[in-house]
Chains A and B, each alone.
Chain A
Amino acid sequence: MYSQALDERDGQPDEAVNAAFEQRVAAEEKIEANDWMPAAYRKTLIRQISQHAHSEIIGMQPEGNWITRAPSLRRKAILLAKVQDEAGHGLYLYAAAETLGVSREEVVDQLLAGTAKYSSIFNYPTLTWADMGAIGWLVDGAAIMNQIPLCRCSYGPYARAMVRICKEESFHQRQGFEIMVTLSRGTDAQKAMAQDALNRWWWPSLMMFGPHDAESTHSDTSMRWKIKRFSNDELRQKFVDVTVPQADFLGLTVPDPDLKYDATTGHYVFGEPDWSEFKAVLRGDGPCNAQRLAHRRAAHDNGAWVRDAAEAHAAKQHDQVEAVA
Chain B
Amino acid sequence: MTGPTSQWPLWEVFLRSRNGLHHQHVGSVHAVDAEMAVGNARDVYTRRGEGVSIWVVPSAAIVASDPDDKGELFEPALDKIYRHPTFYEIPDGVANI
Q: In the complex, which of the residues B5, B8, B33, B64 contacts A34, with contact meaning CB atoms closer than 8 Å? A: B64
* With known contacts A1-B63, A84-B47, A310-B32, A98–B10 Cβ distance under 8 A: yes
Interface window among A87-95, A140-148, A173-181: A87-95
The reply to whether A95 and B27 form a contact with Cβ atoms under 8 Å apart is yes
Contact with B along A60-104 (1 / 0, CB 8 A): 000000000000000000000100110010011001101000011
* Residues of chain B lying within 8 A (CB to CB) of residue A95: 27-29
B16 CB, nearest partner CB in chain A, Å: 17
Q: Is B81 an interface residue (CB 8 A)?
A: no
Contact with A along B1-40 (1 / 0, CB 8 A): 1101111101000000000000000111110110010000
Choice from B29, B33, B48 contacting A314 with Cβ under 8 Å: B33
Is the CB of B60 closer than 8 A to any CB of chain A?
A: yes
Complex interface bits, A286-321 against B, C-beta within 8 A gives 1, otherwise 0: 000000000001001100100100110110011000
Cross-interface CB contact of B60 among A1, A96, A104, A318, cutoff 8 Å:
A1
Number of residues in B with C-beta < 8 Å to the partner?
27
User: For residue A314, which residue of chain B has the nearest CB?
Assistant: B32
A-facing mask of B58-74, CB < 8 A → 1, else 0? 01101110110000000
| Segment from A105-113, A218-226, A260-268 that makes contact with B | A105-113
B47:A85 contact, CB within 8 angstroms: yes
B5 pairs with A5, CB closer than 8 A: no
Q: How far is the CB of A263 from the nearest CB of chain B, in Å?
A: 42
Does B44 touch A at the CB level, under 8 Å?
yes
- In the bound complex, how far is the Cα of B45 from the Cα of A91, in angstroms? 10
Is the CB–CB distance between A91 and B59 below 8 Å? Answer: no
Residues in A196-243 with C-beta less than 8 Å from chain B: none
Using A1-B64, A34-B64 as known contacts, say yes or no to A161 and B5 having CB atoms under 8 A apart.
no
Which of B2, B27, B43 is the one whose CB lies under 8 Å from A304? B2
A105 engages B6 (CB within 8 Å): yes
Contact A313 B4 (CB under 8 A): no
**Smallest CB-CB A-B distances: 8 pairs:** A314-B32, A314-B33, A105-B5, A1-B62, A304-B2, A95-B28, A35-B67, A310-B32
A-B contact pairs, 19 of them (CB 8 A): A1-B63, A1-B64, A4-B64, A5-B67, A32-B67, A95-B27, A95-B28, A98-B10, A98-B28, A104-B7, A105-B5, A105-B7, A161-B27, A300-B5, A301-B1, A304-B2, A313-B32, A313-B33, A318-B33
